[in-house]
Amino acid sequence: MKCPFLLESVARRVFAFPVQLGAALIVLAGSIYFNSGTLAPYAATIIRPIVEREHGYLYNLDHDNFKAVYLMLSGAPRTLWETSMVLRRVLFYFFAYFPMKQFGFEMGGLLTSVILHGVCVGGFVLFVRKRIGPSAGVVSLWLLALYPGVPYFATLPYSYVTIVPFALLLTILLIVLKDSGRPGTAVLCALAMGVLFLAYDFYVFYLPALVLLLWRHRKFGVPLKIGCALLTLLPLSLWLLALKEIYRVPFSNPNTDIFGVILSSYFKSWRLYFVFMPAWNSVVWVKLVQLLPFYFFHTFFYNVFGWLSLLGFVSGWAAWKVLKKRDLSVEGAIFLSAVAFFLFNNLAPPYNGWPMRGDVIARLYEPIFPVYILLAAKTLERLIQAGARLRARILVGLAIAVVILNGAICFAPYLGDPAIGLANKFYGEFYHHDNPDAYLINVHLRPKKLLGM
């Protein structure tokens, strides 16, 4: 008679949340390291990546642009970094500076990446568990531990490393600000968001979301709302000023100018009240707009590698229809900001420069991935609280399927051809490159050498 109770006790200990948290963070670190070296997806998805001479590691074609940020901070000669287009994305290199000095640019960057992901994912999961509930904590934990967006960017020492960890932190800050009635908390959250904007162009999604939430906030006055919105831009403004005045780097480059080019395409050679006339008279523009539904589906399905977005939309539908939850949440504000940005890019008349429209660059919208995590976590917890056990079990089953399929992508090089083919498909749709089978070719033709080997 003791055996069943013994087994139950062992099961509870094995599946206890602290054990799951530790196991998931190990899996997360493994998904980063075991996709490094010659397997780095952001490099392996290019048919002709940069090949490191000594070990054969693969780098993305923008490797020198990102390394230039570190060289600038290191005091290297100006000629080695002045032409970089991403000097504004500096925050990751502040964190990675000493590890890079100690272990080298690549290995120091990888170690920093593992630490950042571990701390931010663990912190986000604990936050969700405390704010929403235990089931929400578990589902968010495993969805993050095996999220393919981590190995795609986290294995190379670029500013993109910060997309997953800092998007989670920005989401936490928005939740704290929304739920708080204290002006001091709002100011601190806004300032912290501004600091995180130094890592990547998160402000495109999170600043409009902040404005939406502040506008709906009943406890804050108008001056405080305006002040918080402006405060988020202060750190980036000061850094851009430092780049111009201290490092003598101009504000303008092809990377920073693209959104100005898109904006000017709406107004080019027309007065304000004729702003849409050249577009409507353009056959090319009309054809582009006709593809808008396809572009929308492709972008918001593949921007988080498909399965997670499917789970998020199902969860959102359940929250809307079944649970009747229709208030403006943080995830709703972020998603509305992303849709507005999508329309800005895809409704523009034809323009010259890097294409930001269509199905080429779904990865541009990846920073909203916490929306899908929160939707699944909140809906599951609410279904359980409402006693809807069958619907909760269906959602759990869908979440498990998503974790398994995403895990196959994360560890594809070690799982054989079906998993490699799956990863090749989703990596390719996440960001189109010159050859849709580049990842498949590189994984098969190049030896598997991890960083440090």
pLDDT in tens, the chain (453 residues): 444 444 445 445 557 889 999 999 999 999 999 999 999 999 999 999 999 998 999 999 999 999 999 999 999 999 999 999 999 999 999 999 999 999 999 999 999 999 999 999 999 999 999 999 999 999 999 999 999 999 999 999 999 999 999 999 999 999 999 988 899 999 999 999 999 999 999 999 999 999 999 988 878 888 999 999 999 999 999 999 999 999 999 888 877 888 888 888 777 645 444 445 554 446 667 777 788 899 999 999 999 998 999 999 999 888 887 766 666 689 999 999 999 999 999 888 877 777 788 888 999 999 999 999 999 999 999 888 888 888 889 999 999 999 999 999 999 999 999 999 999 999 999 998 888 999 999 999 899 999 988
Q: Answer whether 88's CB lies under 8 Å from 81's CB.
A: no
Could you give the CA distance from residue 373 to residue 153 in angstroms, rounded to a whole number?
19
Q: How many other C-beta atoms can be found within 10 angstroms of the C-beta atom of residue 20?
A: 17
In our burial notation (b when 16+ CB lie closer than 10 A, e otherwise), range 291-321 reads eeeebeebbbbbbbbbbbbbbbebbbebbee
What pLDDT, on a 0 to 100 scale, did the predictor assign at position 5? 45
What pLDDT, on a 0 to 100 scale, did the predictor assign at position 267? 74
Could you give the CA distance from residue 23 to residue 279 in angstroms, rounded to a whole number?
54
- The half-sphere exposure of 96 on its side-chain side, counting CA atoms within 13 A, is 33
Q: How many other C-beta atoms can be found within 10 angstroms of the C-beta atom of residue 243?
A: 17
Could you give the CA distance from residue 241 to residue 238 in angstroms, rounded to a whole number?
5
**DSSP code of residue 360:** S
Q: Answer whether 240's CB lies under 8 Å from 197's CB.
A: no
Q: Please give the backbone phi and psi of residue 50, each rounded to the nearest 5 degrees, phi first.
A: -75, 130
What tokens does 132 get? 């929403």
Q: Answer whether 39's CB lies under 8 Å from 410's CB.
A: no
Residues ≥6 apart with Cβ < 8 Å to 383? 318, 322, 323, 389, 391, 392, 395
Burial class for 41, CB neighbours closer than 10 Å (0-12, 13-18, 19+): buried
**DSSP code of residue 50:** E
What pLDDT, on a 0 to 100 scale, did the predictor assign at position 127? 97
Could you give the CA distance from residue 408 to residue 449 in angstroms, rounded to a whole number?
20
In our burial notation (b when 16+ CB lie closer than 10 A, e otherwise), range 380-416 reads bbbbbeeebeebbeebbebbeebbebbbbbbbbbeee
> What single string gives the DSSP state of each residue in 65-99?
HHHHHHHHHTT--GGGTTT-S-TT--HHHHHHHHH
Residue type, 337: S
